Amino acid sequence: MITVTIIGAGNMGAALASLAITGGNPVQVLARDEEKAQVHPSAATGVVGDAVTGDIVILALPYPAVADVLSTYAGQLDGKILVDLTNPLDFATFDSLVVPADSSAAAEIATQAPASVVLKAFNTNFAATLASGTVGDAPTTVLVAGDDADAKATLIALVEAGGLAAVDAGSLRRARELEALGFLQLTLAAGEKISWAGGFALTK
Ligand SMILES: NC(=O)c1ccc[n+]([C@@H]2O[C@H](COP(=O)([O-])OP(=O)(O)OC[C@H]3O[C@@H](n4cnc5c(N)ncnc54)[C@H](OP(=O)(O)O)[C@@H]3O)[C@@H](O)[C@H]2O)c1
């Protein structure tokens, strides 16, 4: 069991609250509006700016919102596992990412929160596949990248306890490839070539 704080209560925040609670973990959800934070009856709720209670903090936010939230919590996320699930698309063009080509959102976040242990995860999983546990006929698999083996093992255990598969995808440098995959998957769904309940699956 590990305490989890999810900042952001949209599609991903709600799916991840449910996943973590299914696995028996205490969950706190923080949103701008406390009513919106009520995504699961078993989750504690609050507003962004309230003290974070989780040892794992999941940023279930649009990438442009992350910097502000990190500055709100400056110093308060030190030592915690910080999970970045963003797909940092340029939504004006839908044709590129807003992070430098040789970097990633996760790497930028690690620079902004150097005393946290940053992991990239969930960005290649549409919210509906986290809830259903399947991508077509295949099980939903969460790819986890990061530089701290213990933190990755902790997040993988949390995902597995919630009933999904998870795979260690390598160091935080792999976040760049995960974000490229997430970007491609998003464009395929936006172009109606795949459904928002589908996407890439991993089979062993
Ligand atoms: N949806 C998916 O299937 C999926 C899959 C993989 C990755 N992702 C990534 O997951 C992240 C969240 O996606 P989502 O689909 O859950 O989005 P969403 O449903 O739009 O939810 C976004 C959440 O972020 C909050 N938020 C927005 N701007 C904020 C700010 N400046 N300060 C504080 N909170 C703010 C929103 O609060 P308000 O309600 O107050 O606006 C809402 O709670 C994105 O980075 C996306 O790229 C999504």
Determine whether the shortest distance from the Cβ of 130 to ligand 1 is under 6 A.
Answer: no
Averaged pLDDT of the chain: 97
Q: What is the DSSP letter of 140?
A: P
Place of tokens 């959102």: 105
Give 96-138 pLDDT, tens digit per residue. 999 999 999 999 999 999 999 999 999 999 999 999 999 999 9
Query: Distance, CA 40 to ligand 1 centroid (Å)?
Result: 17
Compute the residue count for the chain.
204
- Going through the chain in order, the beta strands assigned E by DSSP cover 4-7, 27-31, 44-47, 56-59, 81-84, 117-121, 134-135, 138-139, 141-146, 165-170
Q: Which superfamily is assigned to 4-190 in CATH? A: NAD(P)-binding Rossmann-like Domain (3.40.50.720)
Measured distance CA(41)–CA(21) in Å, rounded: 10
Query: Distance, CA 204 to ligand 1 centroid (Å)?
Result: 31
Average pLDDT over residues 160-186: 98
Determine whether the shortest distance from the Cβ of 9 to ligand 1 is under 6 A.
Answer: yes
Measured distance CA(171)–CA(50) in Å, rounded: 31
Atom of ligand 1 nearest to the CA of 48: 33
Query: Distance, CA 60 to ligand 1 centroid (Å)?
Result: 6
Please state whether beta strands 4-7 and 165-170 pair in parallel, antiparallel, or not at all (unpaired).
unpaired
Res 204 pLDDT > 90? no
Average pLDDT over residues 145-173: 98
Give 50-77 pLDDT, tens digit per residue. 999 999 999 999 999 999 999 999 999 9
Query: Distance, CA 83 to ligand 1 centroid (Å)?
Result: 14
pLDDT reported for residue 36: 98
From the number of C-beta atoms within 10 Å of its C-beta (0-12, 13-18, 19+), residue 197 rates as: middle
